[in-house]
Each structure stands twice: as structure tokens, then as C-alpha cells.
Structure 1
Amino acid sequence: MQPRGGPLLPPVFDAFCDFEPLPLNCEAWPVSEPHSGGAVQEFHSSLATSNSSDWNWPTRPVVFVSDPHADAESFLRSLVAAGVICRTGAGLADFTLTGFGHLAHVVVGGDCLDKGPSNLDMLDTLSALFATGAKVTLLAGNHDLRLMLAVRALATPRNPLTEHLFVRMGRKALPLLREVWHRFGSDQRLTRLPSEAKCRERICPSESWFDEFPKAAAPHLAPEAINKELRRLREKGSQFTQNVADAGLTMREVFGAALLCHELFLQPTGPYHWFFQRMDVILQTGSVLFVHAGLDDSMCELLVQDGPAAVNTRFRRDAKRDLFAFYFGPIANLVRTKYRASDKVLTDHGVRLLHQAGLKLVVQGHVNNHNGQRLLAKRGLLHLEADVTLDRASRAREGLSGIGAGATLIYPSGDIIGLSSDYPKAKHFHPHCVGLQAQMPQPRAQQKEFA
């Protein structure tokens, strides 16, 4: 079906860069297709429950872009595709807000860091977006928090609960460490660092860690989760030395880069101190909750009883306390869960609380997809998976070509549009129009309405 109005993409989109073309036509969200939803019976059951009471929609359009993973160009292309910015040059900070961009609420769904091609470029571009005066909410992702926890762990006395956190980041964090060392490191800093062997010893868990960790973690984690952590560390630990060499680094440079990250990100005078300071863990607007990964019952209770501000306040408070309890507790579960047996549990009780409070849809990142966004029910709660594999490193490993682009747009009308360069049409969902082909909304026309 041809959408109403003009083309989805503004003409400036291809003015300064080659790109994977985004869709020009719109279709009803194909929820019966596995790549866009699947588990149709559960989806319709959850949708019927949600539709049994009124939906409340945001008062301004929301543009959700998640998991850019250090690919600033894909992030900018996504904002252009959504109509938020206009590129004015080839540089990563050469853009201005459109009329729609001035009115929209941009939600960055987490995982700005790791993978590549450039973490620092991504952070500088995000800073430039803040500088435009756009309304932006930055959510925490598991990759973002892992950096914070790992560098803090290196700066505190070793103990069995935290000494593995740095290696646990694995190879995906090494591009950031390499960038930080190359931009901010120096021969003078290198001479002040311990020997290669001492740095390796400080970075890697001790020989006794595999025996000590299960005992120390027993009060905090179920046996299955403890065993999973041990398996991960055996895998990542055995590969880490080679990963460091493949990244062109020494253990001294890795250790030096970690100390620099502590200065850059965690010290008030650091140029990237703003990154964690501006970070929330959830955003609720009407019936929609934005979060990196998902929920458990305890977070549902806190959210319903005390509101989203209380959840974000607890996030900031707990992040400054016990590292292990925070990372494996219910707050960090918001950025880590995939509703696995080892994750905090979301049951009918939590979902019922959310529905009674009018919260009906979770919009998340964290689970990357190859054919655009997915809309499905998880644990009886509607979820929209909006990680559309933007970064070039992931795309190359997973057989996707080019630089990704995509965004999820949610309008005050209740229309939701999923855009992705990896799916031929824009996907449209409205909770009261599932399966209807008529009167398909046109995103650019709606943007003009708000401009």
C-alpha cells in the first residue's frame, strides 16, 4: 500500500554519505511473521488485555534509537531517517534539528559503547545532539554499565565478587580501551605503570577465584547463575590475552587505559563525566515504558508504587554502592534480562500490576534483530524490540551489509512506526488497528503536523 503524503525520507539524507536505502512504503505490522513478532496467540491475548482499558500516549512524538554500539554514523543516519536532524556537512557534529526534531523527544535506548568503529566519536556526537537543545533521554545499557563497573573494580581492593568484572567485559570493550589509550595515553603515563606481569595480575582473576567466587556469590545468586558466571569467565579468560594482542595492545596499555577511563568518565573534571551523570534506567510516558532490556516483579512493584523517578533514583544510588550486588540485582536486571532462567523473574503478578497501573507496552533494545523491529508478548506483556543492528562491527559479523539505520517512532495518536534499512517497508502498529490495511499513517505527514 502506498502511504499518504510524501516520501518517508528527507532529501538531505543522501547528501553527504552513501547509505542503505530505508523503506518508502508502509505496511501493517506483520506480527505473525517470526522476524517481526511470532507467537501470535500469546500476542493477541496480551493485546486484548491491554485494550481492555484506555491507552495513554505521549503528548509529543517519541523517537527511540537503541544500541548504536559506538557507530556514530549509523546513529546520525537513524536520526535523519526519523526526521529529527538535517545533516549540514560530512562531519559527525555537522547537523541541525528540524522542526520535527525540536518537538520530538529522542530516547537513546542504551548500549552506546563497545564494538565500534569509534566509541569516542559516538560520545562526541551524542554530546553534540545534547548541545542542539533537543529533548533527549539517555538510558543505561548493559555494555555502558559494564565499563563503569569494571573500571571501578580495578580502582578498589580485590575481592572474589569483583575481581573478574574487567575480564568479563571481554573483547567488545577493547576498541574503547584502545581509543582511550591512543587519544589520551602517553609515554610518560606508560613509564608510571607497573610491569606487564603485574598489570596482567591486576586485570585478571586470581587462580583461586574459581573456588572462591561460588562461596562468595552464594548469598546473592542461584546456583545456575553462579555456574553461568563461571562458564563465561572460563571462556573469556582463556581468550582475553589473545584478544588484547589482536587489538594491538599490551596489558600495561590496557591497564593504563582503564585508569584513564576512570578519570575521563567517573571524575567530575573528566570530559565524559556527563555520560553516566545524564543516564536514567527507565522512562515512562503514558502507557509506554522505555528500558534497555526488561522488567522483573520487584521493579514492577517499585514502578507502580513509587513511580519512575523512584526507579531512576534507586539506580543512581545503588550504582555507587556494592558493585556486585548492583550488577546482579534487580536494578541492573533492567539492562541485562532476556527473561532467562538465570534472570530476575517477571511473573503474572508483575504484569498484572503494570496493567492495573495503565502500563501496557515495553519498548526496549538489547535483543538485536536483522529484519527491523519485532513486536511480541513476553511473560504476557507486550514488548517492542527496537535494536535493529546499527553498528558496522555487529553487521559484518552477522552477515548484514553496509551501515545500519533505523528508529522507532511513537506518536500521540497511538501510531507506532518501525523504520529499518534491513526491512523493505515501514512497519505500522496501532493497538486498535491490528490487521487493518486501510488508513495507514504516513510518518512524514505526521511530522509535518507537529512541525
Structure 2
Amino acid sequence: MQSVIDWQPEKPFEIIPQAWLSPDKETYFFCDLHADAGAFLRSLKLSGLITESSELDQVQLTDKAFQGRILIGGDCFDKGPSNLQLFELLNHLREAGLDLILLAGNHDIRVYAGLLALDFMHDLRQAHFFVRMGRKCATFLAEVYHRYCVHEEAPKLADSLIEEALFPNEDWYRLFPQYAQYFMKRKQIEKEIKQIRSKRIDFMQACHEKGLNLNQVYHAALKAKQLFVDSDGEFAWFFQNLQLLHHSGSYLFCHAGVDDSIALCMQENGSDSLNEQFRNQMRSGQIFEMYYSPYGNIFRTKYRDKDWPFSSMGAETLRQQGIFALVNGHRSHENGQQLFVREGLLNFECDTQLNSNCRKKSKMKPHGEAVTIFSSSGTVFAYCCDMPTAKSFHPGRLSA
């Protein structure tokens, strides 16, 4: 482990330390893995949850792993290089009986919606979700194809029929606005339509770059749906166990953030109720309504003008519930985890660009590793290979 320095927010923040509650057990937060199994393996080693000699196909858990909680903060899918290996590693932790919590990220829900759309191409609200997964999912489909499909007989369909099964037709471009007007602003609808036209071309180009023709893309998509969406699929446990958020002590964990309406819903019904409603929406297949609602805001927001608003009122509503800090990923940082004050709440932002593709694009060190540890003793530790020293936060120091 690195040496440790004091971690303080840039803006002044006042709290009565006695009101601050730690998580009920040591909590290890990992986020935005984006299908980089190697980065997750290194991060688990950095956390002390597995032995240094562990490999992807032979992981040895430590006592810490069984005593603590592993919280995956969303965005497990798509960029690669190792979607399937990442889910196999997560499944190993799950089957070992660890306390493992999976939070929904925007990329995770896009993949779920995209694969589910194969059964909903007649639904003009959702027919665009497959192509909306974007070029980043070409890696995922290529992995699925080469592991599961290459020795199977491919579907023998004309390209025109496959295109009808994967992509929205011209009726969608004409009718989508009237279906979407109750959930999206006019400018958002116009942008969505424009993007879907370009994403269709870009998506297929990315698949061709991965060596997949249209027939193979369709084959891989059907297999991916069988593996991840169908109830008896090999990886169906992932979506079946996704949660929107997790509340422990004075911390609220999610992928992106919250808004005023979610803060109020939590006050009225609690986080468990929100998670149950989210799972019901996932099971119902009505992804469009959820994706563009405050529920979707939890895994999509970047606190932009077009996002559902989070104001001082929402922050005060959370404080009344004993929540003084938000913990999320989604907004990436090149110099380790960051600590901000947002509307009077502390905000731990923990996306350190672990994925090797992101790091290469940003000209960062090639092998990312990071973890944010929320100790039951009250201290928060941030470890990251991009920081010369680790950082530690304790609420008691804020009043110093």
C-alpha cells in the first residue's frame, strides 16, 4: 500500500462528526471497469481482497474479502478487452459467497436494453436501443461470437431480414417523436434521431473492424441475449441482481448521481423500495420509460441542464435522512479519485479510467488499478496507481 495524505474537499464543508455514520462493514468501491478484467484483478490485489499470486483463472480470496463488502459501482460492459472474463471473475466472487453488490451503470443498461430490443422491434419506443449500444459494444459481440458462435451454424437469413431484426425502420424515424414527447424534450428527440442514423453506420463499421459481418453480428446478438438476458442464461445473474443505489451509514452509492425527485422518493419510501421498483421495470421490459425517467438519471446524470435537477432542496432532503455524502463513478478523472462539495453534500467521484482503452486514449499509464475503501471505523481511503500517495478522509477532521 502507498503512504497516505489527508484528503479534504476544496470548498469548506461543515458537519457535526457525531452525526456521521460509517458503513455497517468495510466497503470496497470499484467502478467503471468497462470490461477490463485485468484492471479489476489488479484493483482487487491493491485492496488486499485477493492474494498477490492470484490470476484471472485462479483467484485466491483473503479473509478481508469474506469480512467486507464489494460494491461494483456500474459500467461493467463494453469497451473491452475482456467482457466475458470480467463477468467470470465477478461470478467467482459471487459464488464464493462474498457480500457483492452490483449497481447499474449507463453502459450496463444500454446493453440490456439493446439485447432486449431484439424482442421489441415492434415497439417504436425501443426499436432503436440495439443500435444505440454504439460501436463500443462491437468488442463485446466479437467476444461472444468467437467463444460461443464460431462452431455453431449461423442463422441463414437475407441481410434485409437481419436489418429488420436489428435496426429501426423508416417508420421509427417518423413516429418516434410522438411516442417520446412525454419523456424527452424536443431538442433531445431531434438529437436522438440524428444520432441513431449515424450510430447505425458507425456500429456496423466497428463490427466489421472486429471481423464480423452482418450475419455474424446477428448470431452474436442472439447468443448474447441468451447468455445475459434470458432467465436461464449463463450470466443472467448479473442483470437479475442489479440495483440502482445502495445506502449505508451516511453514504449513498450510485453510478452517476441523484436528483430532487429521487431524494424525495427515498425519504418517502426508502432505497429498498426504489431498487425493487427498478428491478420490476427491468423485468417488465419497459426500458424506455425507465431510461428517460429520474430512475435513469441515477445512472446517467452529469448534472447538466438537460438532466433532472439536483438542488439544495434535494440535498437537504438527503441530509434529513442522515446522508451526508454521495459516492459515484461516471465522471472520469485522470489523477485519481476526487472529493467535491455539491449542493452542500460531499461527493466522492471515483472513476479513475481503469479501462486500458480509455487510458491509451488519454495517454495514461497502461495498467490501471484503483479502489476506494469506506472503513467501518470512519476513514475513507482512496488508492490509485495514478496518485503518488494514497488519500484518507475522516469526517472528524472537517471541524479542525
SS in structure 1 at match of 2:101: strand
Q: Which residue of 1 aligns with 2:291?
A: 327
Please give the secondary structure, in 2, of the residue aligned with 1:389.
coil
Matched residue of 2:87: which SS?
Answer: helix
Contact 1:196 1:250 in 2 (8 A): no
Distance 1:268 1:236 in 2: 29
CA shift at 1:435, angstroms? 9.5
Q: Is the 8 A contact 1:189 1:256 kept in 2?
A: no
CA distance in 1, matches of 2:156, 2:113: 21
Matched AA of 2:347? H
Report the equivalent of 2:145: 181
Structure-1 residue corresponding to 2:5: 27
1:230-265 Cα offsets, whole Å, 9 max, x none, are 343244234223222112111211111111122111
1:93 partnered with 2:57: yes
Q: 1:229 aligns with which of 192, 197, 216?
A: 192
Counterpart of 2:32 in structure 1 is 67
Residue number among 24, 36, 43 corresponding to 1:78 in the alignment: 43
Structure 1 stretch 153-162 or stretch 288-297: which is displaced more? 153-162
Distance 1:61 1:81, change over 3 A: same
Paired with 2:156 and 2:311, the residues of 1 have a C-alpha distance of 49
SS in structure 2 opposite 1:229?
helix
Residues of 2 paired with 1:271 and 1:354: CA distance?
Answer: 38
Deviations 1:396-438 (A, max 9, x none): 11111221000001112221111110111101112231497xx
* Equivalent residue letter for 1:29: W
SS at match of 1:409: strand
**Segment drifting more, 224-233 vs 173-182:** 224-233
- Contact residue 293 and residue 366 of structure 1 kept, 8 A: yes
Alignment correspondent of 2:365: 401
2:170 to 198, 202, 207: 207
Equivalent residue of 1:85, what SS?
Answer: coil
Question: Hey, what's the Cα distance between the residues in 2 that align with 1:230 and 1:378?
Answer: 33
Q: Deviations over 1:315-335 (max 9, x none)?
A: 101122322101111212211
Matched-pair identity in % = 34
Shift of 1:53: 6.7
Runs (4+) of structure 1 moved beyond 4 Å? none
Q: CA deviation at 1:364?
A: 0.5
> Which letter maps to 1:63?
Y
Give, in whole Å, the separation in 2 of the partners of 1:377 and 1:198.
52
2:302 matched residue in structure 1? 338
CA contact (8 A) 2:26 2:374 kept: yes
TM-score (norm 1): 0.84
Q: 1:304 to 1:265 in 2, by over 3 A?
A: same
Count of matched residue positions in the alignment of Structure 1 and Structure 2: 399
Correspondence for 2:222: 259
Conserved in 2, the CA contact under 8 Å of 1:63 and 1:82?
yes
Q: Deviations over 1:85-112 (max 9, x none)?
A: 11444x3032222222221111111111
1:247 aligns with 2:225: no
| Counterpart position of 1:122 | 86
Gaps of 5+ in 2: none
Distance 1:59 1:219, change over 3 A: closer
Secondary structure of the 1:200 match is helix
Contact 1:390 1:404 in 2 (8 A): yes
User: What code does the residue aligned with 2:129 have?
Assistant: L
Distance 1:143 1:173 in 2: 9
2-structure distance, mates of 1:243, 1:227: 24
For 1:290-323, what per-residue CA distance to the aligned partner results, in whole angstroms no more than 9, with x for missing partners? 1111112221122122211101101101122322
Partner residue, 1:133 = 97
C-alpha RMSD over aligned residues: 1.9
Task: Say which SS state the counterpart of residue 363 (structure 1) adopts.
Answer: strand
The answer to which of 210-219 and 58-67 deviates more is 210-219
Q: Does 1:301 align with 2:246?
A: no
Q: Residue 283 of structure 1: SS of its match in structure 2? A: strand
Distance 1:379 1:235, change over 3 A: farther
**1:184-195 equivalent positions in 2, closer than 5 A:** 184-186=148-150, 188-190=152-154, 192-195=155-158
Aligned-partner SS, 1:320:
helix
Match of 2:396 in 1: 432
Paired position in structure 2 for 1:5: none
Partner of 1:310: 273
Aligned amino acid, residue 143 of structure 1:
H
Match of 2:109 among 145, 148, 168: 145
Mapped to 1, the partners of 2:314 and 2:187 lie a distance apart of: 23
Alpha-carbon deviation of 1:381?
A: 2.7
**Alpha-carbon distance in structure 2 between the residues aligned to 1:229 and 1:417:** 40
